[in-house]
Amino acid sequence: MIKKYRKYILLLLSIVLVALAGQLNAQQNRAFKFENLPYHDQKDYHFGFSLGFNKMDFALKPISNLHNVEMSPQGFVNTAEFDTLQSVLTRAENGFNIGIVSNLRINNQLDLRFIPTLTFGDRNIIYQGMKNGRPITRTQQLESTFIDFPLHLKYKSVRMLNTRAYVIGGFKYSHDLASTEDKEDFDDEILARIGKNDYFYELGVGFDYYFYYFKFSTEIKASFGIADMLKRENSMFTNSIDRLNSKILMISFLFE
């Protein structure tokens, strides 16, 4: 259901963020003449929410002797359509994410942040080969709906009136509700399956802007998967891949 309406949700999210940007710009001249929310960062803890976009992809390492990969004696349906496999590639697609911000103050420059997030996106594995002297391509589209549980340290610069920069770093556990790991291959042919559970380390930078009623932040963050996500099965589609790790780029807008 999410996949069907994803383009419309992305368009709606874009419209909302553009409208919010317009409102923020309208307040900017008045808001930045004096210090807003002077005691905001002195709170022991505070909450908020985040909206954003992502580019979800894989870091794929094919086997060294890709052209000589053997087909399984059992095989999947249609594996015989390849005489030889020439390349295995990935293609990223755009998605979106929604989260809840929980912030614990450690000291003036350091916070501990927990931001459970729903992250939606698609990734593709593209197999290119030859059959009877003709090029042929097969694509496995993998829809992902992650429940993310990230834990970050946020190191902040000194506040400059109503702006400050920051860097974040930490780790994240993700559970993919749309994983094909246990999915039966009835409706759609599954060439390769990926696991449900993933682990990431994350790095990012951002800017905090203090307005009259709330703090607004823009943030860009890269997530690098640690686990090999490919479920090993005896087919040319999995035997051709040495390692498959997740990687995600996120741009988020936070309201606290």
Q: Is 2 helix (H, G, I), strand (E, B) or coil?
A: coil
Which CATH number goes with the domain that contains 119?
Answer: 2.40.160.20
In the prediction, which pLDDT does 224 show?
96
Structural domain span for residue 233: 6-255
15-28 tens-digit pLDDT: 655 556 555 555 55
User: Does any domain span residue 99?
Assistant: yes
Q: How confident is the model at residue 77 (pLDDT cuts 50, 70, 90)?
A: very low
90: left (phi over 0), alpha (psi -120 to 50) or beta: beta
Bridge partners of residue 103, in order along the sequence: 46, 113
In the prediction, which pLDDT does 7 show?
59
Residues 31-50: what's their mean pLDDT?
85
Q: pTM of the prediction?
A: 0.81
CA-closest candidate to residue 146, choices 193, 182, 196: 196
219 contacts 251 by C-beta, under 8 angstroms: yes
In the prediction, which pLDDT does 26 show?
52
Return the amino acid letter for 177: L
Alpha-carbon distance values, 201 to 32, 136, 137, 206 (Å): 35, 36, 33, 17
Is residue 79's pLDDT more than 90? no
199-255 tens-digit pLDDT: 999 999 999 999 888 899 999 999 999 999 998 887 888 888 999 999 999 999 999
User: Does any domain span residue 26?
Assistant: yes
User: Does any domain span residue 1?
Assistant: no
Return d(Cα 72, Cα 235) in angstroms, integer.
Answer: 5
User: Does any domain span residue 204?
Assistant: yes
User: Does any domain span residue 101?
Assistant: yes
Tell which wins on pLDDT, 100 or 87.
100
How many independent structural domains does the chain possess? Answer: 1
In the prediction, which pLDDT does 5 show?
56
Q: How confident is the model at residue 173 (pLDDT cuts 50, 70, 90)?
A: very high
DSSP string computed for 158-192 = --BTTEEEEEEEEEEEEEETT--TT--SSSS--S-
Instruction: Return the half-sphere exposure (C-beta side, CA atoms, 13 A cut-off) of residue 49.
Output: 4
CA-closest candidate to residue 56, choices 168, 176, 154, 153: 176
Give residues with Cβ within 8 angstroms of 93, minimum separation 6.
55, 56, 121, 122, 123, 124
Bridge partners of residue 221, in order along the sequence: 204, 250
Report the sign of the C-alpha dihedral through residues 66, 57, 82, 190, in that order.
positive
Rg (CA), the chain: 22
Residues 49-73: what's their mean pLDDT?
82
- Mean pLDDT score of the chain, rounded to an integer? 83
